[in-house]
Structure 1
Amino acid sequence: MAAEQDMTEDYLEDEEVFRRNAYLLIEKMVELSNRTREDTSMLVDEILHSIFFLGHIIFPPCSLKSLLDDDDEIYEHLNDRYPEPFIRYSSQLPRRSPLSCVLDMIVHLIQQENEAGIIVQIKALTRKLMDKTKSKILFSTTLCISRTSSSVRYYGVSMSTFGRPAGKIMVAASCLCSTWDDYVADAVMTYYPSKEKKPYFDGTFQLPSNVTCQAVNISSGERMNPCRSCGNLFGLHTESTQKWAYGNCAEVESVSKLLKNEKQVRDQVQPRSNLFTEEGRQRAKECVLKDLKNLLKNVGFEWDNNFYTPQRAKTIVSTTTEEVDG
């Protein structure tokens, strides 16, 4: 009985942290969006939907107002400017997790070549999200920077959700809705939903030697070696035997962005396995989709088979041009 009570108390604490961190992320995104002359409202719209969805599938679900600090004025303001997330959160799936949206906003404002400044910003935000909690709730532990011999850097963060079902749902969604480059999605689907390689499909590939892919622990700033999962997916050299869930690592998002922007590299990484066939690929996609639907059924989510498309804000108000510190 005492153990059961402890579990209930831990859950209620996690739920409180979820609501707190959800509001902190939304508040941060609105603040950052107001620091640029360019219209970045689609990123705010996207993170609202992603957070609302995650709050909807936990048990018991979080009301939208509770995710906005129970503030009627904030609720009405955001609902007026970004109506679609308030409507679609209970029927459509997000394309990626919340901190990925924040990362894109920070890179947009600071510029991709300012690696140190981006790390400082992500670290400061993560520290704020980690305050008073030991649980990984809506924040990432790892940042990855991928690049070729050119100076262009591509950033990714590890999956930032809450609970195992949510993480698996987001990995499946990212594979199926073209959030990730097709080759990256194929590599992940080679293993997803288990950690075992499919006997009928192999979409893994080898990154060329001129590509560096460096993970960093966000809290400590220490460089990290790839895990065995990333070695299996992308041919990254590693002596690690640790296999994290495929699709969860920061390398996945980072490598995906590189391949989407560097055609010459993408041409070099086409999977070479005899098991890389269109028939096998479709079978793997069907496996991922089946698992996704089962996960959604288990959390009581009625999916309309659509992935959410971020929208521009209804009314763009005047903004400042203040730079992000970094």
Structure 2
Amino acid sequence: MDKEPNKSEHLSNEEVFRRNAFQIIIEMVELSNQTREDTSVLVDEILHSIFFLGEINRPKFSPKRLLDDNEEIYDHLRDRYPQPFSLYSSQIPRRSPFSCVLDMIVQVVGQENEDEIKLKLQTLSHQLMQNAELQILVSSTICISRINIPGSKRYYGVSMSTKGRPAGQIMVAASSFSYWDDYVADAVMTYCPKKTKKPYFDGTFQLHAEVSCQAYNIRKGIEMDPCRSCGNLFGLQSPEKEKHWPYGNCAEVESVSNLLKNENRVRENVQPRPEENRQRAKDEVSKHLKNLLKNQVQFNWDGVFYCPESVRDEEEETEEEETEEEETE
């Protein structure tokens, strides 16, 4: 029988990756069963996201290995969610795993119950960080954005939850192209991939004073000031002079993106997106992404960002409706 690690022992990074992957998947399935809402799309999405990260990890982990070599769980999930099992080795996720965990918890708890949401994330984070020196597949920060009026809806985001530099850069690029609001993606791509501002393109913007955007350390539950990167992207007031996280890694990015996707009054107060040289900026990020996939992690990408089946169906229906409206006109 394998010896269980005690508090003074630390698991290897690879053991932590496998353990956390399995625990997160099991947690997502259990949370999905706790709500009457159909949250299967989030389970589908996180399976693909984790399987992809296992595929590009060194050493590589197959879905079966990430499911603790449990045949029963493997067969059940593969039958229920076939797409992640067939597409993890050819398509890129739109976002990192803990983003899906956050969405699931918000669905189960309700967006208005921010203290309970933070507590659930904190509890899970402590479980996943046990006997581990590094945060692997676990976000360190949550951010809550909202309009400063009574009863306004809260919009959540978490920091990137990957392992290693190539994976983080891949997910920032993927989220810029396929998940984040266009305004937020433009701001991030202004600085990516070299962490310096492009001389030919500026998609940054300043959030209106009516918006609050507050980050918290998930494990400690304490408020965090925006880093210099978030100040550069969104005009958030940052006392930090030195702390300068890679652009796109912070929880503020996802939180602000969700806010802009849903609050037109906030979006209308953001300066118009610059069209000049925008494609050039996207091409630079795309080139970097393809180079990472080919030369850093040896991933044979088919050019498609993974879309969970139910989301894909909704998008296809929307496209069909738009086509019908255009034909009618």
The TM-score normalised by the length of structure 2 is 0.89
Partner of 1:226: 226
AA aligned to 1:266 is R
- Aligned-residue RMSD, C-alpha: 1.3
**Of residues 277, 294, 301 in structure 1, which corresponds to 2:291?**
294
AA aligned to 1:307 is F
Q: Secondary structure at the match of 2:75?
A: helix
AA aligned to 2:285 is V
Q: Is the contact made by 1:93 and 1:307 (CA closer than 8 Å) also made in structure 2? A: yes
Once residues 73 and 219 of structure 1 are traced to their aligned partners in structure 2, the CA distance between those partners, rounded to angstroms, is 33
1:39 offset after TM fit, Å? 1.2
Q: Secondary structure at the match of 1:102?
A: helix
Once residues 209 and 302 of structure 2 are traced to their aligned partners in structure 1, the CA distance between those partners, rounded to angstroms, is 43
Q: Is the contact made by 1:147 and 1:258 (CA closer than 8 Å) also made in structure 2? A: yes
AA aligned to 2:260 is L
**Are 1:165 and 2:163 counterparts?**
no
Once residues 277 and 131 of structure 1 are traced to their aligned partners in structure 2, the CA distance between those partners, rounded to angstroms, is 46
Once residues 21 and 226 of structure 1 are traced to their aligned partners in structure 2, the CA distance between those partners, rounded to angstroms, is 28
AA aligned to 2:58 is F
Partner of 2:187: 187
**Are 1:72 and 2:77 counterparts?**
no
What aligned pairs does 1:69-148 form with structure 2 within 5 A after superposition? 69-148=68-147
What aligned pairs does 1:251-266 form with structure 2 within 5 A after superposition? 251-266=252-267
Once residues 195 and 37 of structure 1 are traced to their aligned partners in structure 2, the CA distance between those partners, rounded to angstroms, is 43
AA aligned to 2:262 is N
Q: Once superposed, which parts of structure 1, at least 4 consecutive aligned residues long, lie more than 4 Å away?
A: none
Once residues 288 and 270 of structure 1 are traced to their aligned partners in structure 2, the CA distance between those partners, rounded to angstroms, is 23
1:279 offset after TM fit, Å? 3.4
Q: Secondary structure at the match of 2:202?
A: coil
Once residues 255 and 278 of structure 1 are traced to their aligned partners in structure 2, the CA distance between those partners, rounded to angstroms, is 21
Once residues 145 and 39 of structure 1 are traced to their aligned partners in structure 2, the CA distance between those partners, rounded to angstroms, is 24
Partner of 2:268: 267
Once residues 270 and 279 of structure 1 are traced to their aligned partners in structure 2, the CA distance between those partners, rounded to angstroms, is 14
Partner of 1:320: none
Partner of 1:207: 207
Partner of 2:277: 280
Uncovered stretches (5+) of structure 1, i.e. residues with no partner: 1-9, 314-326
1:268 offset after TM fit, Å? 0.5
1:13 offset after TM fit, Å? 1.2
Once residues 257 and 81 of structure 1 are traced to their aligned partners in structure 2, the CA distance between those partners, rounded to angstroms, is 29
Partner of 1:198: 198
Uncovered stretches (5+) of structure 2, i.e. residues with no partner: 1-9, 312-329
Q: Secondary structure at the match of 1:206?
A: coil
Percent identity between the aligned chains? 66
Once residues 92 and 285 of structure 2 are traced to their aligned partners in structure 1, the CA distance between those partners, rounded to angstroms, is 15
Between the two proteins, the alignment pairs up a number of residues equal to 298
1:311 offset after TM fit, Å? 2.1
Q: Is the contact made by 1:45 and 1:312 (CA closer than 8 Å) also made in structure 2? A: no
1:280 offset after TM fit, Å? 1.1
Partner of 1:322: none
AA aligned to 1:97 is S
1:312 offset after TM fit, Å? 4.5
AA aligned to 1:192 is C
Q: Secondary structure at the match of 2:139?
A: coil
**Of residues 303, 308, 320 in structure 2, which corresponds to 1:305?**
303
Q: 1:268 to 1:312 in 2, by over 3 A?
A: closer
Q: Secondary structure at the match of 2:99?
A: helix
Once residues 218 and 190 of structure 1 are traced to their aligned partners in structure 2, the CA distance between those partners, rounded to angstroms, is 28
1:64 offset after TM fit, Å? 1.2
